[in-house]
Structure 1
């Protein structure tokens, strides 16, 4: 009888709801984009996020003014991350999250170079610093934890060796994490599925699109503001998650698009 009463009083663990994760290259704010400049697409960009309602959003090419605009219009979100020079005047790999859903337990940045703890460091022959912003998150409702890593790899054709080294550096960091804590990697990898970079990552992580129970939208993601994508370079990789749904979001208003990349989104579940 006493055991029955104790069992009845014991707290019931809550199942975790699906975790909605998005990767979105913002496209830097430059006047030379003309009709596609940030000021012209800002509201559409924010509406794209508001409609999709990701719990976690990994961004690339994010500048401070863009982060400020997102937060001003979507106050349910917070974000963190340094820019690629180690400050806040250049491109960030900012991680946005819904504070009512997720709690940040730890976070940091490292550079994809021979000196990963040196902000702005460059190695392997490419011209700009490349980096990762990461966080350890806890689901407020169910208590489950996961790591999120977000990156943007070099873009030139001749940078494939550097992209591979960057992927290897990320995988080395992931290998040092507790194996029972799931991981999600978001990013613009500037590498297609037939590349050595993809092969390195897919050999250690799972491509969310490849294992999703349901897939929506085109495979390719970069469209250069045309709406016709010609390369798949934006990804979500996972370890320790199931993927219920994966989508490439192609929303636009007339000839206007929120970015030159389509965002990709995955609905993840803990096993």
Structure 2
């Protein structure tokens, strides 16, 4: 009886998530390297930006406005990550990327790809609605090696258009649709620069829409339920900039428990590492509710 009881106990323990099952998520618009930013050009801030990322130590990192050489610069400075990225212009190296970084010692890639935010999402470089530029999303499906029996993670990263209001709304609707399709049976994580404030049409389409049925939560608002005045994520490279809208979001499906969420106000010598603050979240697999 004692041996049988011990075997049952060990089996129960092996079915539970490990104690280190938290997933640290970061989203960061890193500002494209070819911008005329004076003292804030990429080569002057890339080390500081990489240090800011390493300080949080994400398991999953989504970056926006990432050119190929910025992807390579970060890969060289961030040890232990695999990266999935494609240029929005040609699906390869040309144009800004929605790069996904994930820890290769923790996650196994099961699938991944890209789609464009347009009426023809499978057409590389396509533009839709009133968008000013090609816009896209990159996604990856991952198995967590620390808890291989758990549902996979579907991780999406995107950047909505900065000019087209219809494009932003339709992009949010398309993203929801793709979450339902590509994220079926998965725990979902979404990162991005949405160029939209809280309560906007795109925000409601992503976080409040009844269809598709899969609920996506605004992780920051879960932890900070009362809206405050210092939640802006656009910096203009100015230290202490906190006004303006919160346009950078991390979303999660309801099979995650949101443990932490924050806006990273990194600064040095009066400047920030990018013209956006990074945003972060710490997620844990939610305990399944008992059934009667």
TM-score (norm 1): 0.93
The number of equivalent residue pairs is 269
> Structure 1: any 5+ residue segments left out of the alignment?
none
CA contact (8 A) 2:65 2:96 kept: yes
Partner of 2:220: 209
- C-alpha spacing 1:22/1:178, structure 2 compared with 1 (3 Å): closer
Q: Matched residues in 2 for 1:5 and 1:179: separation?
A: 36
Q: CA deviation at 1:175?
A: 2.0
Q: 1:187 aligns with which of 186, 192, 195?
A: 192
Q: CA deviation at 1:89?
A: 2.3
Q: Matched residues in 2 for 1:181 and 1:262: separation?
A: 28
Partner of 2:131: 126
Deviation per residue, 1:83-109 (Å, 9 max, x gap): 111121210000001111222111010
Q: Matched residues in 1 for 2:201 and 2:224: separation?
A: 26
Q: CA deviation at 1:217?
A: 11
Partner of 1:237: 251
If asked which structure has higher relative contact order (CA below 8 Å, sep 6+), I would say 1
Q: Matched residues in 1 for 2:221 and 2:78: separation?
A: 31
Partner of 1:226: 238
Partner of 2:55: 51
Q: CA deviation at 1:231?
A: 2.2
Partner of 1:196: 201
Q: 1:107 aligns with which of 112, 137, 143?
A: 112
Structure 1 window deviating more from structure 2 (250-259 vs 54-63): it is: 250-259
Root-mean-square deviation (Å): 2.1
Say yes or no: does 1:73 pair with 2:77.
yes
TM-score (norm 2): 0.86
Deviation per residue, 1:205-234 (Å, 9 max, x gap): 110011127999942101111131322110
